[in-house]
Structure 1
Amino acid sequence: MRKSLFAIGLLAAICSVQAQNVLIHVDDNATTYVSKGTLVYSGGGLQMRGTGKIENHGNFMVQGTSTDSFKTITTGNTDKTEATGGGNFVNSLNEPTAYSTYNTNNSAATPAYTYGQLFITGIPQANLTGIVDQEFRAVNHGTYQQIGLPFYDKTASTLSTELGKTFTNNRHSQNEILWNNNTNVVPQNFGTGYKIGIGLDGFAYYMLGGLGLNVSTVTRTLKGRPLTDIGTTTTLQGAGANVNFGTNGNALNQYNEKYYSYVQDEFETTPWSATYGKNVYQFGNPFLTNLDLSQIAKNEANGDGNYLTTIQGVRLEIAPNAVQTTSSGTVTSGGAAYKYIAFDASGNPMAGDYDYQIVRPLGTFVIKLRDNTAADQLNFGTLRRFNYYTRNSSTAYSVTANKNTTATYKQLGVIGLDVNGNEVARTYYVVYPDGTTGHSLTEARAQVTIDVSDVLGTYEEAPAGGIDPNYMSQYRLYINEANENTFKGKNIRLKNFDLNTIKSYKFEVRENGTPINDGVHTLSSGIGFYYKSQNGTVQPALQGAVVPVNGADYDLYYGEPSNVVLATNETKSPSRTVVVYNPGIENYVVRFDPNWKKADIEVYDMSGKLVITKKAVNTSTDFVIELDSKLKNSYVVKVVSDKGETVNTKILK
């Protein structure tokens, strides 16, 4: 039985044209307005004729069959084309200036940013000839805009007019169009004469040259034929499996570009390890509806059919101007440039930026798997969702399903605010019964690293609490995990690297992704998170509380500590000085703490022989440790400031 259900502000000149495989017809000169929050359901095809228009501010659902159609036609009853179409079905933005605000992942919260969504199911691609206008705003990502393009048979050059800049075929010009080849781990050229949606999957991940591109202060409208949901399943296997990155990423791709110039993998704490940059799948949203990623690794009885058994995590929304191009390549500026979700062994989202699990139309996301063995499949069609919050696994899947919650993972978010109360940085500390305390390449599931340029993060913890000195100068963390039971009452170290910018902290406490009530401290376990400034007392981290910053170093606890006397190596604030590999010069450098003025540097080989010594080094720029790249030796680096502060670390080649 076919059904057509309407709850809209205005119906005009709509009739049934079933003989043409169309259930709903909007005639010439008629306008139908679908208001915000309204669901319109059609149990068959949809057609708009001439200037007939559906202005969609809500949710429009078309459920058809192989004989149904979605059409925009002229008054002469011929299909409109890429050149002549547009203006018939418009997905409108309701709060266009709120594009940078992500909605709170809670069914009780009022969404801050909403838009018209179109859901079409069961209709073959050949019958989807209608042109949809998709209004679009997003943060400007920097030199390359990351985007999904959910259209079929759309000429790439049409993006020039729609986005207000001219795209060319010149690589490295920041005017080109690229798409990411997951198998070969390379952004490939996509010519302006190529057809989007033909040759490449509809869920391809595109990168648009950002020179002169403005998608934030101007509402853009992209036009094209929507993609079918038939055949939108892909197998996640082989990403980077046969790619040899070379030592420290120095091998060349097909464009003679070194892999280190663009490959990043914040899910790995050891750069260029065996799985660094591999098992990574970059996707664009192929539909004109939201995608819900919260259950992609859950084996559900009545779910969306997705079950990624080896998932490690998902990388989500990109920060403004995070993508930057230099002479060394194009990379994002640190771990805080993205949002992340980590998953546990049972497929539950366990830590990270829970509010970002909904991917907007034209949005992108990246999946990191632990290995390439499972050949699991991802069905994009069943990820679609009208709501702006996620569905829980105990709720059967549908595009309009609600959310339930359970409690397992306990997370403290520390948000760094500037003098005006604006967020400038954040970091997370998560605990759970099977959590891993300390460094582990294989066991830790929630770890995500940050870059040395990021201004807020935590250090890897030692089993007894405090900083593990073995990794203090190697990496810092955006998401840090520890075991809920064995690490209870012990401290991890929070570091503020820019006291001139971060003036206060705001606490965000979640249990299994759901925020606890404002002003509340205790979680379902009867235990809560605590914090302590360097010279302060232990205080409960209350939900929503804002506290002034009283120094660069704080300690974070799950469970009230019984003894807050720090270990000997914890009595001083750790230095920001690190030794890192700089792929641009193919050598290691010392990057100094900004509070240092001069430094002495000594480098020893593993036999104890002093191979490099420099006195009174200027700390305003990186110091290059000039080692013979042909030798695979390991070294110990000792750096001493003019005030006697010492940093020791190892270089393993």
Structure 2
Amino acid sequence: MKKNLLALFALGAICSSLNAQNTFINDAVIVKVNPNTLFYNGGSVTVNTPASTGTTEKIINQGNIQVRGGFTNQNTTGKNFVNKYTGSSSYGQLIIDNASTVTGNIAIEKTKMDVNANDYAMLGLPFLAGQQVSTIMNRITGNTSFSGSCAVNTPCGQARYTQSALVWDVANTEYDAVTATTTVSPGSNYTLNVRNGGLRTFIQGLGATTSFGVYGVPNNKTVTFDYESGLRNFPSKAAYSSANWGSWKELTNNYDERYNSYLGNPSGQDGSVRFGKNIHRFSNPFTSNLDLSDISRATSWLKIVVNGVENTPTQLHDTALRIRITKLPIAYTINWGPQTGGSNTISDTRISAYLTKAASGATPYTWAGNPDALLIKPFEYFEVEYPTLVAANIGGTNVVTSKYTFTDTQKTFDYNFSGRPVNSGVFARSSQNQSQNDTIGTSYLNDETLKQKGLVGDNDFTQVELFLSKNNEIQGEAGYLINSSNYTTGSANPATVRISTNPIYIYEETKTGEFLSENQTLLNEFNSQDYVGKPIKIGFNNLEEGAQYRINLRLFEQSILNQIDSNFNVGTYYLLDKVANKVSTVDANTEISFTADDKINDRFEFYWNQEPKTLGTDDLNKNNATYLYANNNQKFVRFEERNTTATVEVYDVSGRLISRFSNVNTNSDYKLDIAKAPNLYVVVVTYKNGKVVSEKTTNK
């Protein structure tokens, strides 16, 4: 039985259902599914358009199509069936159930890559296994431009950098060559060469066009990865686990490339036994969005294997690790608010969501960070990391063994979790007013499904998002301050060195309000009841002295889905600018503009629910404590006693004197000479009045 689907779609219904009937689409009609429209077919779908007119778009999907039965497209290229891209929050999606049989190609449109700003572009291939990557690449460009002369795990010199595609190899921490006969692995992280070759030429010829088609057989099958990172230089897992970054960063991979050419060479990481490990990279394996928010025991897509036993993140979250999911969006528009009124397109901003542990509550875990990181669009890639790994709690290893399984459960048509109007960009302030937000928020803040996923908490959760910009361009990732009466203050391990490489970060703190200068994070959580009126210090990396920067904020309450436009209902943040000697009440319109200098890491502090006092003339630039801090790979002493002198001594941990400097003026910070200092050393400051302060630190 044949159906003319044009009549069904012309009804404009939100949902069109054909139950279990089979549907045939021939060359006599053009079918269009409009945005925000769901077309559901309980039977099989067969698309039959002759090859002679097969390049004409016959099925134009700008909305959502779900097929419960089989799917067949008899056209050889798939250009007749296109998932249309109309915007970052409006694009065609296709879900075909795992049990279905699929044959025949479709086209999925993708935004144009910026080949002038990037040498390589990430691109997932959400197509069934068995198709050749070279075929898919050639269909993009319309010719036989695919280059893949390098063999896998074989050095090939400069030819390595003219290959059309590479694919991430977790077991060897490298990008593997993709040859002409390499077949698609849906969900694998592919990177495409746009620095030269046929793809670059093709994209440059698109002109003002913002999208192009990628053709393949849509993947509907469950995808599973068993990941355990390693290096060819360390055949033993135990040896790799204990090796620090400094011992292997300049070793070479299977293609005679140094590992730091992949992972960078950030300062302060040489002693880390975790940096560069557990890099688990993926792409969306499906032709619809991928929902990563549900990690509950019943339906988690992630299992961590400890001594042969599979555990969900929630089972290990009490003692072992925090999960971080990061993705690189295609493009976002950033609105800077009333001061500039301008906007700018950023194509390389990483965004992250963090699974945090609550000390109590109906749901013992809550997502923090950016919720957009938990919804992966077709073609997008993402990473799973373990930033607070405790080796002793996962079998005594720094290498996480993980099993990832993406099924029908993770397929979704949702463009966001809350159903709220989509903002113009991931960092844009909402255009809704507060009363509208409250009305819209009522439904999902009480949604039990969202609560079970950890997207909504039954507590006083608040979140401040901080992102740094220079010349209207975001610098690195956002940082987050989160608090709740369910969190634990000072939960970071003081013995664990975590040096941030991000342009903006937050110092970890102790329960008494002291900064851990060697413990820097992008996510700082504290208890909203026991950390009142104590400082939360903001730090920066590698800023250009004399350059102008700005910090913008977003505020969230009770849920990372609930962005608010004024002040928190449960408390207040205050910002102390120690250079301007000014305290400001933080709201959603707060912007912080400053000129970078060599003391910028001691300028800004946040306080919760108790306004700090501004400082008198005698106390300016004084933190009421002697402490050490790092800036641009140098170590400084900040003195608590001013208008006096001190003796500064450096000792190794055995008590041997390394250096001694007398009559040091305490009115300005003192730069330590640590060229001869060991990795771990102690700084002793003896003031003229006899007060002695000692601080242990690392030579990083």
How far residue 527 of structure 1 moved from its aligned partner, in angstroms, is 1.1
Q: How far is the alpha carbon of 1:413 from its aligned partner?
A: 1.4
Which residue does the alignment assign to 1:508? Answer: 554
- Does the CA-based 8 Å contact 2:284-2:378 persist in structure 1? yes
- Kindly tell me: are residues 139 and 233 of structure 1, through their superposed partners in 2, closer, same or farther at Cα, counting changes over 3 Å? same
Q: 2:18 and 2:367 mapped to 1: Cα distance?
A: 49
- Residue of structure 1 equivalent to 2:85: 93
* Number of the residue aligned with 2:296: 298
Instruction: Please state how far the C-alpha of 1:10 moved relative to its aligned partner.
Output: 8.2
Q: Conserved in 2, the CA contact under 8 Å of 1:308 and 1:377?
A: no
Residues 124 and 285, structure 2, Cα contact 8 Å, conserved in 1: yes
* Residue 480 (structure 2) aligns with: 428
Cα deviation digits, residues 364-399 of structure 1 (max 9, x gap): 11222446568665334311111111278986879x
- What is the match of residue 46 of structure 1? 45
Measure how far apart 1:317 and its partner are: 2.4
From 313, 336, 355, the equivalent of 1:343 is: 355
| Contact preservation (8 Å) 1:466, 1:570 | no
Determine the structure 1 residue equivalent to 2:504: 456
Partner residue of 2:245?
248
**Structure 1 residues 250 and 422 mapped into 2: Cα distance closer, same or farther (>3 Å)?**
closer
Q: Any gaps of 5 or more consecutive residues in structure 1?
A: 75-79, 100-112, 322-335, 580-589, 593-600, 614-622, 639-647
The DSSP-based 3-state class of the residue aligned with 1:382 is helix
Query: Aligned with 2:138: secondary structure?
Result: helix
Q: State whether residues 342 and 350 of structure 1, in contact with CA within 8 Å, keep that contact through their aligned partners in structure 2.
A: yes
Q: What does 1:167-182 correspond to in 2, within 5 Å?
A: 167-170=147-150, 173-176=160-163, 177-182=165-170
3-state SS, counterpart of residue 460 of structure 1: strand
Give the partner amino acid of 1:383.
Answer: Q
- 2:607 paired with 1:557: yes
Q: Deviations over 1:184-221 (max 9, x none)?
A: 43332221321113xxxx22122223414667974221
TM-score, normalised via structure 2 length: 0.64
1:459-608 paired onto structure 2 within 5 Å: 459-465=507-513, 467-468=515-516, 471=517, 474=518, 476-495=520-539, 497-498=543-544, 502-511=548-557, 512-519=559-566, 521-523=567-569, 526-534=570-578, 535-549=580-594, 552=600, 553-561=603-611, 563=613, 568-569=622-623, 577-579=631-633, 606=653, 607-608=655-656
Shift of the alpha carbon at 1:33? 0.8
Letter in 1 for 2:138: T
The reply to whether residue 154 of structure 1 matches residue 128 of structure 2 is no
Q: Distance in 1 between matches of 2:108 and 2:47?
A: 16
Q: Deviations over 1:52-92 (max 9, x none)?
A: 7211000011012xxx3x11215xxxxx3xxxx12121011
Question: What stretches of structure 2 of length at least 5 have no aligned partner?
Answer: 151-155, 232-236, 304-311, 332-347, 358-362, 396-400, 419-443, 637-647, 662-671, 685-694
Q: Which residue of 2 aligns with 1:620?
A: none
Corresponding residue for residue 111 of structure 2: 137
**How far off is 1:515 after superposition?**
3.3
Q: What corresponds to 2:66 in structure 1? A: 61
Contact 2:245–2:270 (8 Å) recurs in 1: yes
User: In 2, Cα distance between the equivalents of 1:434 and 1:208?
Assistant: 44
State whether residues 492 and 508 of structure 2, in contact with CA within 8 Å, keep that contact through their aligned partners in structure 1: no
Letter aligned with residue 314 of structure 1: R
2:84–2:108: 8 Å Cα contact kept in structure 1? yes
SS at structure 2 position matched to 1:154: coil
Change beyond 3 A, Cα 1:637–1:120: farther
Please state whether the residue corresponding to 1:560 is helix, strand or coil: coil
| SS of aligned partner of 1:244 | helix
Paired residue secondary structure (2:85): coil
Contact 2:302–2:402 (CA under 8 A) maintained in structure 1: no
Computed over aligned residues only, the root mean square deviation of the Cα atoms, in angstroms, reads: 4.8
**1:63 is aligned with what amino acid?**
R
Work out the CA distance in 2 between the residues paired with 1:506 and 1:570.
Answer: 29
1:318 CA drift (Å): 2.6
The alpha-carbon deviation at position 222 of structure 1 amounts to: 0.8
2:468 corresponds, among 410, 416, 426, to 416
Q: Deviation of residue 434 (structure 1)?
A: 4.9
Letter paired with 2:351: K
Contact 1:57/1:115 (8 A) holds in 2: yes
The one of 349, 354, 363 aligned to 2:380 = 363
Contact 2:131 2:183 (C-alpha < 8 Å) held by counterparts: yes
Change (3 A) 1:31 1:397: farther
| Aligned residue in 1 for 2:436 | none
TM superposition shift of 1:234: 4.4
1:18-73 deviation digits (Å, cap 9, x = unpaired): 9xx98111102531111111111111211111247211000011012xxx3x1121
Q: In the alignment, which residue of structure 1 is the partner of 2:322?
A: 312
| TM-score w.r.t. length of structure 1 | 0.68
